[in-house]
Structures are given as C-alpha cells and as structure tokens.
Copies of this chain bind each other. A is one copy, B any other.
Amino acid sequence: MYIRKQRMLTPGPTPLYPPALHAMMASDIHHRTEEFRSIYKAALADLKEVFGTTNDVLCFTSSGTGALDASVSNLFRAGDKVIVCNAGKFGERWVEITKAYGLNVTELRMPYGDVVTPEMVEAALKAERGTKGVFIQASESSTGTQHDVESIGGLVRKTDAIFVVDAITGLGTMPLEIDNWGLDVVVGGSQKAFMIPPGLAFMSVSPRAWKMAETSDLPHYYFNLKKEKKNGDAGESSWTPATSLILALGEALKYIKSIGMSNVIRNAQLLAQATREASTELGLELFSKRPASSVTAIKSPAGMDSGVIVKGFKQKFGAIITNGQGSMKGEIFRLAHLGYFDFTDSFGIIAGLELILRANGHKVELGRGVAAVQRVYEAAQ
C-alpha cells in the first residue's frame, strides 16, 4: 500500500554494490581484446589479494556449485577415499558431488545446527588411511554455522589428503588464512561477500592440490583448472566469460580493497554479533551451536511458523529474508550479513523484526532489539 523498498537480505544473492552494478553497463566489450585482458588480469590479481593467498586463484563463469564440481573432477581419481564433513544442506551437496564422480565417501554427519569437530576428522583420518581429500563448508549457510577450518586444516595437512573448503559464504565473513591453515582448495562465489550478481565462481588452488591434478583421471571439459590457470595468466578465460560480471567484479574488488578485506570480515562479524544480541533481547533462541557471521539462523518463537516471519518481512517491509531449508523450514528464519550490508540495514531489519513478532503475538518491547544493535555499534567505535 505504501512505499516498501525491495530489500534483498538473504545469504546470497546479497545486496549489490551500486557502482559494480553500473559498471556492468560497459559490457559492449569483446573478451578477446587487449582492453578486456587488462581488466580481467587486474580482477584476477585483486581477487588473489582479497583471498589473501599465494596460491593460484581461478575464475569460472558458473555458480559456486560449478567450482565445487570442478574441485572434484579435476583433482581426484575414481574410487579415491575422501571424508566429507556434513552438517547441513551444503554438506549434503558435497556428498552428492563426490558420489557423482564415484569417490569412496566417508561421511561425517552431524545434525543441522551442529558442527563436525576437529576430533571427528582426526579420528576419521586415522581410521581411513590413504584418504585423498577432506571436504567441508567453512560457513554452512543453511544452518548459520561455521566450522573450525583452522584446526581441521592443521590435521589434514599432516596427511597426504588435500583440504577442500566450500567458502562460498565463508569468504569475507570469517578469517580464512588459506596458506597458514592449509586450505588447499577454497571456493567462493560472486553473489556473496563480493556484492555482485550470481554467475562467477572463484577457486584458489595450492601446490599440493595441483600435484593431485597431475594424476586425476575423472572426466571433465568445461571446468579445466590447468587450462584456466594458463589462460588466466595471459589475461584470458578458457571460454567466453560473463564479461558484465567481470566488469562488476573489478569495481567491487576495488571497493573491498579500499575498505580492506579484514574490515569487510569484521563488518559481517559485528552485524552478526549485533543480530545475535538483538535476538536474545527479543527472547529468541539461536539455531546454531557455533554461529557463523555470514547469516544468523534464529528459531521462530514456540508456536509460530517461521514462514510467518518471512512473509511478514515481504508484506510489511518489502524485504526478502530466508526460511529454513528442508526439515528446518518453518522452524528457523535467517538474517544475512554478508556482503554489502551495514549497520543502518541492521537497525531497520531488527526494528522490522520487532514489529512482525508483535503483530504475531510475541511479546516485544519496541526498540529493545534495536538498542542491542546500537550498543554493538557503539562498542565497535
């Protein structure tokens, strides 16, 4: 009825950085020209800086899942023993991909909201000698949970296995010391902390991972890590790239560098902390035992379907937030913080949440959750 801005407050796609969006308008550019090569080279160099690694960083025109697929099809052999840490919908995806390529999968499964611990991985590595790879989500966005990839990385690097990390929502929301922690493969996606639309996937590849690529025998064509690395060094992509998104990426990376990746991460951490403290003030319970800073999963109050809250945001405020996935649907709702989010967004989101909860019979003192967010802002100054 009144004006309600469409706000996309989901854990991807995330709110877009406007200058990146505007940069896409310069897409009347051919990808096999010196002009584009220099743009692409600069973007790859900035990407590597933002990943914070000496490893190679590749870019694919695909969704993040494409790069997850590529990490399996380019680095392993049929029948390879691998360990998959599975504590959510994206952990399940790792299981599906590794099985699709005929790997011999040991699944470490934990209930939604919980984590696979370093101890579990340590025990599995001992039990499964000859394991070639360990797969995990840095941030499992279906449950708003983050794994201790530092500790697990330390365990994996003592073996011959490589550590393959889905950091699609982890990059830019949590520290990831790729080189120090032994994260051999790290996958990211454009529509997350990179603040641009979906369509690009990123992957860092360590020397240990490259070594495995030498003996890999799984079929692949479009996703070819070696080819992409060779072409990327020359400012080329193997196939026609999504030029508009690379223009956007270049602009977004400039912005991320200007703020500093560590501050982009701190930004997400502060907004996540603020959201957790606001939730507590509003009498709500968190879903995750080890909350991520990419997205906060909050349990709906007893007797209230979380869909009511999702619908409330859409209908009352024009904002899109996410429900739980699978069996979590109706039980939890998720408020994102990754990418182009700021405190003013959080003030508005929590004020809206208070009104939605009240309209549905949950007792709320207006402004109380917002004040919790404000206190986190003040303490961070």
Contacts and interface: CB of A to CB of B under 8 A. Distances in A.
B345 A374 contact: no
Nearest to A350: B347
Contacts of A267: 2-3
Given A347-B351, A351-B351, A340 B5 contact: yes
Interface stretch (A147-155, A183-191, A352-360): A352-360
Stoichiometry (number of copies): 2
B2 A342 contact: yes
Interface string A237-264: 0000000000000000000000100011
Interface residues of A, number: 46
Interface string A305-333: 00000000000011100000000000000
A58 to B, nearest CB: 27
A348 B344 contact: yes
B351 A370 contact: yes
A345 B344 CA distance: 8
A355 B367 contact: no
Q: Which one of A25, A374, A378 has the greatest number of beta carbons of chain B within 10 Å?
A: A374
A350 to B, nearest CB: 8
Given A2-B270, A344-B7, A374 B378 contact: no
Interface in A329-381: 340-345, 347-349, 351-352, 354-355, 358-359, 366-371, 373-375, 377-378, 380-381
Nearest to A319: B344
B355 A3 contact: no
B348 A345 contact: yes
Given A344-B351, A351-B351, A266 B2 contact: yes
A4 interface: yes
Given A2-B259, A3-B267, A259-B2, A318 B347 contact: no
B354 A374 contact: yes
A127 interface: no
Contacts of A367: 366-371, 374
A2 B345 CA distance: 13
B366 A351 contact: no
A22 to B, nearest CB: 9
A302 interface: no
Q: Which one of A270, A366, A373, A377 has the greatest number of beta carbons of chain B within 10 Å?
A: A366
A308 to B, nearest CB: 15
Nearest to A270: B2
Contacts of A374: 351, 354-355, 366-367
A123 interface: no
B351 A264 contact: no
A344 B370 contact: no
A192 to B, nearest CB: 14
Interface of A: 1-7, 18, 25, 259, 263-264, 266-267, 270, 317-319, 340-345, 347-349, 351-352, 354-355, 358-359, 366-371, 373-375, 377-378, 380-381
